[in-house]
Structure 1
Amino acid sequence: MPPGRRWALLWDPAELGPKRVPSPAQLAALDRALAARRRCPICRLDAGYCIPRSIGSCLECASPCTATPTAA
């Protein structure tokens, strides 16, 4: 037996039915859930990306820049 992964189909693709189409209410609920994952709980702004659970806030709130650049 050669090393590596082996795959086997569990059902016949010819017997499968069509994929279910989500309802408009399901799509709206998904949009609301994804928008909530983008909103920072500290500054309440849309970060534009899904906020990681490990950080808990947007990158600007997680590590604010305290040094201000000065002109030389």
Structure 2
Amino acid sequence: MKKTLLVGVIISLLLMVGCSSSQRYVANKQPESKEEYVHVIDHEKVARVSLANYYSPSAVRTIWVNPPQKRVKKSELEKSK
């Protein structure tokens, strides 16, 4: 009984260590250039999804809780205004 419990605890600890060390830290990565980026709503993707909903054989209604966003350079955003 104690041996089985010990083996179970060791296996679970090894699994937890393996899962915690396999994560990649891409979210904290800084952009390579000094250029500043902003996130804007990706209106092209919203339009594609709306068009797909319109031509879908089933009744689909999309409600965007978090609309798709894309990363744009701040200088490009100011040029397009």
TM-score using structure 2 length: 0.27
Larger strand fraction of residues: 2
Larger helix fraction of residues: 2
TM-score using structure 1 length: 0.29
